Every structure is written in C-alpha cells, then in structure tokens.
A and B are shown apart, each in its own frame.
Chain A
Amino acid sequence: MTTLRAYRPRRSRPWDRAAAARFLRRAGFAPSPDEVEETLALGPAKAAESVVRSDVESERARELDALGEALAVRSERESTRLAGWWLQRMTHTRRPFRERLLVFWHDHFATSHAKVRRAPLMLAQLRTLEAGATGRFEDLLRAVSRDPAMIVWLDGDENGKGRPNENYARELFELFTLGVGEYTETDVREAARAFTGWHQRNGRFRFVKRAHDDGRKTVLGVTGPLDGDDVIRAVLRHPACASRLARKLLEEFVMPSPPDDVVDAVAKRLRETEYDIAATLETLFASEVMHDPARARSRILSPVELVVGLVRSLGLEAGAATLERWTSRMGQRLFEPPSVAGWPGHRAWLDSATLLARIDAAVDVSQPGGDFEWRVGAVRAANGIDDRGEALAYCRSLAFDGDVPRVLDARLRAMADKASLDDTMREAMCTLVGSPEYQFV
C-alpha cells in the first residue's frame, strides 16, 4: 500500500523555485515572486507546515474581513456583493491555503443563496466553515448540520416528528460523507427522523423538542433513540467516509482521478488523526505525492483559482465587483453553486463560453485601463527590466515558473516587438495567460 512518504529533495526532484511555485499553486493560488522566495527558503516540510498552520494575516485582508457582516446586512437579498468581498479578501490574504480550503468546503457543503435568499445566513455559513475548516471533520459536520443556511437550503424546518423530510439526511450520506451505494433508503429515512426538530428561526439554530422524534432508529447498523449527532458518529465510522473525503481532497489539491492506493493512504491518515483536516493535509502537502512533477498541469484551474491567482501573482488591481464578474463569467458564482452537488468542476469548467471568458481575461490583463490594471511600468522599475530578453524571462517565470511549454515559448520568441517594452510585456503575458496550458495546475 502506498504511504504518504515525505518528499526528500534530490537531484531528480529538486526543491527549487519551480517546485516551490508549483507547490504554492496547488495548495493555494498562483504565487507572487516574493511568496515563491519565502517558500523556497523554508524547505518542503516547513513549507507544508507553514501553509497549513500559519495564522499570519495581512492588514488588508483583516480590514476586508471586518466588512463582511455589515455588507451582508446591506445586501441581504443578493449574493454578488458578498461573493466579490470574499474574492477580494482572497486576493489580499497571506493564507491562500485557508481560502482554497474554504472554497473546497463551500463546494462540498454546497448551499445556494438562490434559495436561502438571505446574505447574512450565507455569510454565517461561511464563518461556520471558516471556524471548522482545518479542525476535525466531525466538528465541522456537527456545525454544518446546525447551520441555518443549510437548514433553509435542505428544508430542515419542514423536518418534524411524524413528517420527516429526508433532504438533509440524504445529502449527508450521498454528498457530504459516504457517496451513493454505501447506504440504504432505510438508513436515509431513519436518519431523517434523527434530525427532526433541528430547525432555525430568525437565522439561529433552534432545537424544537416537540418536533423531534426520539423513538428508536437504526442507522448504518447503529440502533437507539438516535439524534443527529449520533448519525454523524455512525457515518464517520463507515469506511467509505474517509475514502470519499480523501478522494475529494486529492482532487482539489493534487490531481484529478487519483489512484486508489493514494486515496487509501490519505483515508488512512484521516482515520489515524480522527479526521483532523489540518494534520492530514500537512502530511499530504509534505509528501512525494504532492511534489510529484509528473502530475504538473493535470488539473484544470477553477475560475476562482484562475482569477485570484492572476491578481495575486501579477499584482493586479481589481475591485470586488470586477472579481465577481469575471469568476461568474467563467462559470463559478460563489454563494450560488448550481446544485446541492456543488460545481461539477474539472473538465466541466471549460466550455465554449467559459473558455472565451478565460481568454478575454487574459486580453484584459494586456489592456491598459482594462478591468485588471497591471502596472507594467512599476513592475519593470521594481525588477530592473530594461530589455526584451529580461521582460520575456520575467513573464515566463511569473506565468509558468520558468517552465514554459515549447509551443508557447516559440510564440513568445516569434512575437514582434511592440511600440514599448511595456506593451511587449503585456502582449507576452496575454499570450501566456490566455494559453490552454495556463488553465492547468
């Protein structure tokens, strides 16, 4: 059985700028040159620990974070402003992994404002996910099961004694933990009874005792006067739970369609740590699996990864509405996942419309005065870029960590000189960022 063997740098697999940048792209967003340098200096094990455990946050991100509740109240009937706020926080955070993990949980426990219709509840759910993102999965499941937005989303208020509503119980099994085929319809019905009376009122969780069915139930082989927490414990003991979560984490941070032995190794680590998310991901991030260059450019970037990564790595200036508009155009509208199953992701990120949006974004970066303002002059001054060679090398490094695919490199070399070096850099970056290869991590 494959184990999550720690990555040891060696000649065939060095810990260099490219490796550090690739690691940061997988664990967070496309990094700025400074982030790459900091991570490179740490070494792979410390880098994994730092990425997962660091609590250091930027002042800008803190300022933005403090706006959340007031913004949600002001714009309670729509989610776009809240989505823009969150995206903007992502562009300024010093904890990009935390934000990526938060988007992962937002997708995993997909809840849409389209039905909830109250931005404060959506934000409260985000706060719940934030609080439990790196803790134990059991605690997160308990918190999500009591989350008012989730209760509205999956009709928890209609789940009462004698008239159980199975929506939450079904999704708990099918999407949040076990997956199809690992439970029976009886398990769903009985679990629904266990969650009866788990309601919300005025945006707060409320256990309504008279609506709760405290009779005997049997869920996944466990029998007794079970309540929701008992069901969650039973679910976590089921072997499929760790495997499913492990597969999803690997798909999010490492590769699509991970092999079974790797999934088993991560699942084992989850069980060993009692589903401690931070401990599991720290081990994964420090492992050979995470640092395998053969898996480079195997996963399609989500719109959020692409847009936030562009802004962070290039140091673009973009307001909240701009960020939201572009991620929506590319098919990912935060707080409004398309269904309870979240975003299909991977290949589904690309269709004729969303691919065009990605290319448009690249073109926009290359346009002075566009949505994304790339201050090329300042970049050149800060990096002492004085000629075409230096300009192209900088773009190569920023977009592809220096490892530019041959076809793209040929296009860069063939690119005619523009009126100014600034225009040359813009054109080069447009070529790189708008390429099919850039859409992968």
Chain B
Amino acid sequence: MKRLVACLTLSVVVAGIGLSTEVGLGSKATAAEPTPNAGSSPSAGASRYLPVDLVGAAFLRGGDRAVGELYETLEELGVTRSAAWTEILAAPKLQGPKFAWAGVTASAGTDALGGLAAMLGSELAVGIRPPASKPDEGGKSDPDWILVAVVREPDVVGKMLGSVHAMAGLPDEARTRSIGGVDVHVSKPDLCHAFTGDALLISNRFELLRDSLKRAKGGGLASTSAFRTAASRVASDAIAWLYADGDAIRRLAGVSGPITPRLEEPLGGLLFGGLAQRVANADLAMAQLRSLPEGGGLRLEAHARSEAALPASHRGFPIAESTSAARGVGSPVDECMAVMTVERDWADLFAEREALLQLPAAAKMVEFAATMTTLLGGLDFIEEFLPALRGPLQLVATPRDPATTTYDAKPLLPAFALVAPVDAPVTAGVPWVRRFESGALMLFAFVNFEASQRGDPNLLIELESVGDARVLSAEFPPPPSRGREARGVRYNFEPAVACVDDFVVLASTREAAHATVAAIRAGTFARASDGVDALRLDGPLVHALLAKNRDELVANRMLKHDESRDAASTAVDAGLEWLKLVQGVEARSRLGEKDAEIVLDVRVGGAIPTDTRQSSRRGAAR
C-alpha cells in the first residue's frame, strides 16, 4: 500500500520530468531498499533553510526512497503499459527536457530515475514569500519562492550539478557569488541555486536564497513557534505536508483584525460558514497526506488553529473536539451509495443569516422561508418548522434501477432521502406532524397546479399507512399508449414524505421513503450526533451510476470541450476505468473551540487497466 500511496503522490512529478520506459533503472535497487522513517523530525531537515517570513511551505518526505517504489507500483498496476502513460511521455514538450535529463544523470553515473531520486532527497520543501517591492520592474508581483532538497547522495547530486554548470558556463565571475562560503549561481535573472553539500537550494530571487543561507544556522522557519506547533501535528508516516501562516497571509491581503466571511450561496453559508470563519481567521493552518492507518488508501488531514473564539453569530454551528468518533457515517440503509450527516441549529443560523451570508443570499433565505410558510399551509417555517428540527440531518442516496422506473430519466440520478429528527410539539391540540403532512399535501397539489398550467402530466398522489407511519407519495403517470420515454432530469423525482416516530423523511421516490422508514424502525438513523459533519461515498456504486450515465457524460464532453464523439468517449471511458480504483471516500469535518479540522479518506483498490484507449474504443463501438 505504501507503494500505491507513493505512486499517487509522485506520479505528477515523474510524468513532469518525462521518465520513460526506455530509461534504465540502474539505481532502482538502491531506491527500493527498506526505508527508515524518512523524516523523523520535520523541522530538522529542509525547514532550517526556509526563512521565517514565508507565508507558507510544502514538504515532501522520503521522496528519494519513494521514486523506485513508485515506478514499481506503476508497473504492477499496468500504468506504464497504458496508452495514457505512453501519450504523456510522448508529448513533444517533454522530449527536450527528457533528453537533457538523460544527459545530466548519465554524467553522474546514474539514470533518469536514480537522478530524480537523488534530487528529491530525504526531504523536499518549497516555500513562498510575499513578493518584494520591485519598482524597477514595473510593479511585477510574482511571489518569491525557494525550493530546498536535503539530499542523501551528495556525490551524485554534486556530479549532476557539475554537468549542469558545464552546460551553463558556471561558475562564472559575473554570475556566481559566495554567501557564507557557499557559491550561489545566478543562471537566469529569475533563477539561482546553491548546493551546501547536503542541501540543494533553488529560488527565483537571489535575496531570498541569500537570506536562507544566512539564517540556516539559526534554525530558519523551524525556529518559529507557529511552525513548530504545526509541525508537531505532522504524523511520522506523513508523505507530504503543507504549512501556512495565517497572519502573514492576512497581512499580505491587507487585512487587519478579525474577518467574517459572508458566503454567496445560502446552502454554502449554512454548511460551511463555520469552517470559513475559522479558516479565514486562522493563526496557522497545516495539511498532511498519509496512508490510511488501516492501509488501502490515502488520508488528507487539514487543520486550522485560531486563538480567537467563534463569534456569537456562529453559535448555530456545533462544537466538536474530535473527528475520530464520528457517528452516522455507517450505512443506514442497504445499497447506500452516499450518506451525509450535518447537524446545525437551523433556527439560530436563520436568525444570523446577515452575518453569515452576503445580502442577496440572506434575502433569498427570507424569500425561501416565506414561500415555504405558504406552501406548508400555515406551518410557519421560521417560528415552527426550523425550531422543530433537532439533531442531525441525514441525507442518503441509493441506486435506482432504471428498469423499474416509469420513465427513462436522463441523466439517471440516485434516489435521495433526507431524514430529520424532529421535536414535534402539539399546538392548540393539533400535532405538528399532522400540520406538516397537510402542508406536504398542499405542496404536491401546488406542483400539480403548475404542471397543469404547462400541460405536463400531473403527479398521482397516494397516502398509505406503513405500520403506524404514514407515507405520502406522488408518482408520474405512465405515458399514454407508448413505451418508456426518455425524459429530463426532473423525472428522477417522484417526491414522498413520511412521518415515523420522531423523524420526518423527505424522499425523491416512494421506494426510498419506504426503505428509510424501515431503517428508522431498525434504529439505524441517529437521533443525535457528536457535531461532526460526515460524508461517505461508496466507490463501486458511484462508478456504476456514472457508467449508466456514460452517454450523457460523453455528450456533455462533446459540447463542453468541442470534442469529437471518439475523443470524448475515450476521455470518459478512461475516467470511468480509473474511477474503478476508488473503493470509497469518507470526509469528516468539525469545528472546535479554537480550531477546525477536515479529514478526507480515499480508499483505493483493484488494478488500473493496461490500455484505457482500447477499452474506450470498445465502449464507443457499443
């Protein structure tokens, strides 16, 4: 699995420098040797060369060891025999760099792969610094960057550099300067480098490289407390990680004091307003990529920390101190393609809409609430509906079998069910649930009224009892005297509403409503959450759905990218083949008292097809 992780992490790097199957693998044995922990202390390596005034930095650890494993994994998976790989390596733009690289590495007695491994070193870091004022360049404001590679094979790297220097005419009196005994070579106006013996430094700004060399003895970025705090969260098995200095970024943006980001979209504001607030005001943020603890995939963890507490306007977002015990991520129903759990105090968020959202979005929410109050037959959306929602909203998606649907909806969507625990009061002797059901019936009638106006078929409404639960559902009538017809996306939705125990269910099909009612009875839906938002996707089921919509995907691509059917089919089929590798995705996020965290797990498995082009042609022929 470690090899697969390395494969996914470094494939871009390898493709970028143009390794090819023709290249020998002379140093592969070295690269594939057992790997000690590549970076036992993240602050001990490359970070000492990074200056303290960076806005952020990215680190790759153990890259030299991973290269060989990466190549082996790619071979095992058949990637190196695939048409896509051959096509990448045959790109005209890569031929020049490939040739040059082969020459440089040969001069050091290694090959392309070995040379790459040597250059990546035990730790590779890239730091970004706000652009210096450059009035002489007409206000050009590209950021300054520095790359540091701490190498384990200084001899190899030294020989390779020697070869590069020979080609570039270095050292050169006019272009080489000594900083603290280290030669800094300026090969282009915006490119300079130095080799200290164990670290290769490259930058687009001489002053930045000079500062890095001068301050390395003082510990550089590694000496700052913010960086150390971030680094302390980096797992020993992390493959790559990112660090960002929130204060520096805000200074760069000309922002002082706390920020309250107001989002443009109501749904986005309600789902992500808390995270946005925390990230925008973070003192520091870090993210790391590592293997899943149980293996079989990758985990991306992102963390933002702020000393400032969340403002009162964000009290509708729950506080949770850990993502590890997230409940509700299991499958509450059979054949669960996706499940999402979100808990909010919706009434609170609605009250604070103007603090969370931009004004047009806040106005949209008010408009929506007024419409819903009307449609729900007098059940006040703000005063009676939102406060009744208690506990996590759970959205479940399950596959639909097109053979069992009345219409051939294009594209085919899964069936959805939104499940909400409610604290349903009795008002003036009338149960909340009864008023809700009446409102839902009115809503269906309104939909039919609109359909009649347009000459569209009316929904057939049915009220049925399932045990002590009632399910109100609506379905399209069959087409008159003809067979199944292709219809638009809205034909995926034959709405159903159910009230069972202390839950209300809004479903996109009657079947989904029934399955959800059964699951609620079986106790698989949570009545309370720990405040962690969670999303889980089942890879094979998502893949199966996309495969059923292949023709729509091809058509979309033809129109969007102005591609021929053959080209679009090739791209879509290749994407579907690669997607087969994804067994599942799971995301969790939480807001803490002084931090926020997002964890994304991707489980992978299976094998990459050896020739996606051939398989896509077969697909096109179908």
Q: Could you list which residues of chain A lie within 8 angstroms of chain B, going by C-beta atoms?
A: 59-60, 63-64, 67, 70-71, 73-77, 81, 84-85, 88, 91, 117-118, 152, 201-202, 317-321
Comparing B203-211, B332-340, B559-567, the segment that makes contact with chain A is B559-567
A75 to B410, CA, bound (A): 9
A73 touches B487 (CB 8 A): yes
Residues on A with beta carbons closer than 8 Å to the beta carbon of B454: 117-118
A202 touches B559 (CB 8 A): no
B480 touches A202 (CB 8 A): yes
Nearest-CB residue, chain A, relative to B560: A319
A73 touches B410 (CB 8 A): yes
Q: Does any Cβ of A come within 8 Å of B411's Cβ?
A: yes
Min CB distance A57 to B, Å, is: 14
A70 touches B486 (CB 8 A): yes
Q: Does any Cβ of A come within 8 Å of B489's Cβ?
A: yes
Q: Mark B558-579, 1 if CB is under 8 A from A, else 0.
A: 1111101100000000000000
Given A202-B455, A202-B480: A319 and B488 within 8 A (CB)? no
A63 to B564, CA, bound (A): 8
Residues on A with beta carbons closer than 8 Å to the beta carbon of B555: 67, 70-71
Most buried by A among B486, B560, B562, B565: B562
A60-B564, A73-B486 known; 14 new pairs, CB 8 Å cut-off, are A59-B564, A67-B559, A71-B555, A73-B410, A73-B487, A73-B488, A74-B410, A75-B488, A77-B488, A81-B559, A84-B559, A317-B562, A318-B562, A319-B561
A320 to B555, CA, bound (A): 11
B559 touches A85 (CB 8 A): yes
A63 to B562, CA, bound (A): 11
Residues on A with beta carbons closer than 8 Å to the beta carbon of B455: 152, 201-202
List 21 A-B residue pairs with CB atoms under 8 Å apart, sorted by A's residue number: A59-B564, A64-B559, A70-B486, A70-B551, A73-B410, A73-B488, A74-B411, A76-B487, A76-B490, A77-B490, A88-B562, A117-B454, A152-B455, A202-B455, A202-B480, A317-B562, A319-B559, A319-B562, A320-B559, A320-B562, A321-B560
Nearest-CB residue, chain A, relative to B565: A63
Interface residues on B, range: 20 to 34
B560 touches A320 (CB 8 A): yes
Q: Does any Cβ of A come within 8 Å of B552's Cβ?
A: yes
A321 to B551, CA, bound (A): 19
A152 to B490, CA, bound (A): 21
Min CB distance B545 to A, Å, is: 16
Residues on A with beta carbons closer than 8 Å to the beta carbon of B411: 74
A67 to B564, CA, bound (A): 12
Q: Mark B445-489, 1 if CB is under 8 A from A, else 0.
A: 000000000110000000000000000000000001000001111
Residues on B with beta carbons closer than 8 Å to the beta carbon of A75: 488
User: Which 4 A-B pairs rank lowest in CB-CB distance, beginning with the nearest?
Assistant: A320-B559, A76-B488, A319-B560, A63-B565
Nearest-CB residue, chain A, relative to B485: A73
Nearest-CB residue, chain A, relative to B557: A319
A70 to B411, CA, bound (A): 10
Residues on B with beta carbons closer than 8 Å to the beta carbon of A67: 555, 558-559
Nearest-CB residue, chain B, relative to A119: B488
A317 to B490, CA, bound (A): 32
Residues on A with beta carbons closer than 8 Å to the beta carbon of B559: 64, 67, 71, 81, 84-85, 88, 319-321
Residues on B with beta carbons closer than 8 Å to the beta carbon of A318: 562
Min CB distance B478 to A, Å, is: 13
Contacting residues of chain B (548-601) with chain A, CB-CB under 8 angstroms: 551-552, 555, 558-562, 564-565
Residues on B with beta carbons closer than 8 Å to the beta carbon of A73: 410, 486-488
B558 touches A63 (CB 8 A): yes
A77 to B489, CA, bound (A): 10
Total A-B pairs, Cβ < 8 A: 55
Nearest-CB residue, chain A, relative to B564: A60
Min CB distance B332 to A, Å, is: 31
Residues on A with beta carbons closer than 8 Å to the beta carbon of B551: 70
A320 to B552, CA, bound (A): 15
A74 touches B552 (CB 8 A): yes
A81 to B410, CA, bound (A): 15
Min CB distance A377 to B, Å, is: 11
Min CB distance B482 to A, Å, is: 10
Residues on B with beta carbons closer than 8 Å to the beta carbon of A117: 454
A76 to B559, CA, bound (A): 17
A63 to B480, CA, bound (A): 31
Nearest-CB residue, chain A, relative to B488: A76
Residues on B with beta carbons closer than 8 Å to the beta carbon of A59: 564
A91 to B563, CA, bound (A): 12
A73 to B479, CA, bound (A): 15
Nearest-CB residue, chain A, relative to B561: A319
A117 to B453, CA, bound (A): 11
Residues on B with beta carbons closer than 8 Å to the beta carbon of A71: 555, 559
Nearest-CB residue, chain B, relative to A74: B410
Min CB distance B306 to A, Å, is: 37
Nearest-CB residue, chain A, relative to B489: A74
Min CB distance B571 to A, Å, is: 14
Contacting residues of chain B (517-536) with chain A, CB-CB under 8 angstroms: none
Residues on B with beta carbons closer than 8 Å to the beta carbon of A77: 488, 490
Min CB distance A13 to B, Å, is: 38
Min CB distance B608 to A, Å, is: 29
Nearest-CB residue, chain A, relative to B480: A202
Q: Mark B164-206, 1 if CB is under 8 A from A, else 0.
A: 0000000000000000000000000000000000000000000
A70 touches B410 (CB 8 A): yes
Contacting residues of chain B (387-427) with chain A, CB-CB under 8 angstroms: 410-411
Residues on B with beta carbons closer than 8 Å to the beta carbon of A63: 558, 564-565
Nearest-CB residue, chain B, relative to A84: B559
A152 to B564, CA, bound (A): 35
Nearest-CB residue, chain A, relative to B454: A117
Residues on A with beta carbons closer than 8 Å to the beta carbon of B480: 202
Nearest-CB residue, chain B, relative to A81: B559
Among candidates B488, B558, B564, residue contacting A74 with C-beta atoms closer than 8 Å: B488
Residues on A with beta carbons closer than 8 Å to the beta carbon of B561: 319
Min CB distance A65 to B, Å, is: 11
Most buried by A among B480, B486, B558: B558
A67 to B562, CA, bound (A): 13
Min CB distance A325 to B, Å, is: 12
Nearest-CB residue, chain A, relative to B566: A63
A357 to B372, CA, bound (A): 40
Nearest-CB residue, chain A, relative to B457: A202
Nearest-CB residue, chain B, relative to A118: B454
A118 to B552, CA, bound (A): 19
A118 to B489, CA, bound (A): 13
A60 to B565, CA, bound (A): 8
A201 to B552, CA, bound (A): 28
Residues on B with beta carbons closer than 8 Å to the beta carbon of A321: 559-560
Min CB distance A241 to B, Å, is: 32
A320 to B489, CA, bound (A): 20
Min CB distance A117 to B, Å, is: 6
Residues on A with beta carbons closer than 8 Å to the beta carbon of B560: 319-321
B488 touches A64 (CB 8 A): no
Min CB distance A157 to B, Å, is: 8
Nearest-CB residue, chain B, relative to A318: B562
Most buried by A among B480, B551, B565: B565
Min CB distance B150 to A, Å, is: 36
A138 to B82, CA, bound (A): 59
Residues on A with beta carbons closer than 8 Å to the beta carbon of B562: 88, 91, 317-320
Nearest-CB residue, chain B, relative to A152: B455
A64 touches B558 (CB 8 A): yes
A138 to B486, CA, bound (A): 33
Nearest-CB residue, chain B, relative to A121: B455
Most buried by B among A77, A84, A318, A319: A319
Min CB distance A217 to B, Å, is: 28
Nearest-CB residue, chain B, relative to A76: B488
Min CB distance A243 to B, Å, is: 38
Min CB distance B565 to A, Å, is: 5
Min CB distance A114 to B, Å, is: 13
Nearest-CB residue, chain A, relative to B552: A74
Most buried by A among B454, B480, B555, B561: B555
Min CB distance B542 to A, Å, is: 20
